[in-house]
Chain A
């Protein structure tokens, strides 16, 4: 499998369960070492680099299963990313202010002093995005940030993605919600069993035979689909 991510694009990654979307993210962000192949960031080899080092180069991710620091406040959660992100801010007051700005962006400013453990799932997903965003990334890998959200929450989240891109970041986006992916992505890559199945604009993907087969299965010959 091989692909490129153009700058300032939102690139969707879809595929059936077990296709390897999250694994792909984990390999890119250094959680698992790749067994073969290479990853380049603007022409520089970053294969197998650790997560903390990648953050300094402007790569950050969210986790499909949220991982907030539960015993910290929402603000402190984001503060960690500001203190240790790409352009670390050492002073506490300045870091808190910056963290607050990011919370405003994702709409969590009212929860700043709550413990992260009391947030709803939707809020925790937004906190994941806020933390990743607060590291100051050029490339943001978002793993199912809309999973389990209500449709209103999903809509807000998608607006947020477009906002982030407007600010100059590139986004790799894994999501099961087809409508969300189709609505927001510039390009889509389809994975199946660890292989790239197809690649193109949302339009092209929607009409791709191979993709339809992978998701829905082959029609049985001689049987009418509507029967």
Chain B
């Protein structure tokens, strides 16, 4: 099968730009907004967890810090877009502070350390007086609330995230990340500095996640530590790329979209057990389809005999070969 995926992202972007003009209900716009915010974080996590293979349970820290930074600044009358940039900067600084010690650890030890950091930050934020502590923070923004503005902001952030993800995956930096993911020591033996590469990737991912947190906070108007800094937030951010197809540009997008749409229904209908469902889903994916939905789709393509053996098409479409997913 000849497949030129190059134009598809543009079609998708065009559709998403035109969509509000077709008169969406506020509820659908809200759902799309949330989905775009989640997708941005999913793509961000995938940079570090997918491309570089460093599984972090600590992205709620960046999401939360971004949310609080934007909230505090917007509340004081700062331009929201400047505030989002500040969110990104604060998240990057946090990523370095966390990354400098934790990237001395490898694999599961790194993952465990990130859990500890998240919990510590959540406890601190719950007791900090300038942010209102555990009772949360209410943002008062002057001017009318225009839902579609929020939608376009989130769309912009998601588009930036996709663009960065594509750039990284096709660059020599991306190649270095793939090498680190497969064999860190061998990569170092060829001149790659794994520690630095991980720090930069962490920073890039944190910037995007912080920005997403800021955009969410402005829309929500009220944030609290048990929400944005929750462990469940970290899990959600990790779950999306895993559902979609870890280590690929479009797997992270797909996972974000599906999660964004399904999550609310799950929380609404199964408030007590939705985390249990996520856990079960995670186990099922890792056991039966480590490449996520994208891997499943590709298998179906193969089964029905349209995509014979074109490795180049595979690479272009999925950003990597199938084998890599097995090495998470």
Contacts and interface: CB of A to CB of B under 8 A. Distances in A.
Nearest to B325: A71
A92 B5 CA distance: 21
Contact of B178 (A55, A56, A69, A135): A69
Interface stretch (B54-62, B112-120, B121-129, B190-198): B190-198
Interface stretch (A36-44, A76-84, A194-202, A209-217): A76-84
A158 interface: no
Nearest to B194: A52
B212 interface: no
Contacts of A92: 172
A88 B172 CA distance: 11
B320 A83 contact: no
A74 to B, nearest CB: 13
B327 A84 contact: no
Contacts of A60: 189-190
B321 A71 contact: yes
Main secondary structure of the interface of B (DSSP, over half): helix
Contacts of B21: none
A91 to B, nearest CB: 9
Contacts of B194: 52
Nearest to A86: B191
A69 B191 contact: no
Q: Which 8 A-B pairs have the closest CB atoms?
A: A84-B191, A55-B191, A71-B324, A67-B186, A81-B190, A71-B323, A83-B172, A51-B188
A176 interface: no
B189 A80 contact: no
B252 to A, nearest CB: 18
A56 B327 CA distance: 29
B311 interface: yes
Contact of B190 (A31, A71, A85): A85
Interface in A44-66: 50-52, 55-56, 60-61, 63
Contacts of B185: 31, 51, 67
Contacts, number: 81
Given A55-B189, A71-B320, A88-B191, 20 more contacts: A31-B185, A51-B188, A51-B189, A52-B188, A52-B189, A52-B191, A55-B191, A61-B189, A63-B189, A67-B183, A69-B178, A69-B183, A69-B187, A71-B324, A72-B175, A83-B175, A84-B172, A84-B190, A86-B191, A131-B190
Interface of B: 172, 175-176, 178-179, 182-183, 185-194, 311, 320-321, 323-324, 327
A85 B191 contact: yes
A88 B190 CA distance: 11
Contacts of A160: none
B323 A70 contact: yes
Contact of B175 (A79, A88, A113): A79
Interface size class of A (residues with CB under 8 A): 35 or more
B98 to A, nearest CB: 22
Contacts of B323: 70-71, 115, 117
23 contacts: A29-B189, A50-B188, A52-B189, A52-B192, A52-B193, A55-B190, A60-B189, A63-B189, A70-B182, A71-B321, A71-B324, A72-B175, A72-B178, A72-B182, A80-B175, A80-B187, A84-B172, A84-B176, A84-B191, A85-B190, A113-B311, A115-B321, A132-B190
A80 B194 CA distance: 13
A95 interface: yes
B176 A83 contact: yes
B60 to A, nearest CB: 30
B179 A69 contact: yes
Contacts of B179: 69, 72, 80
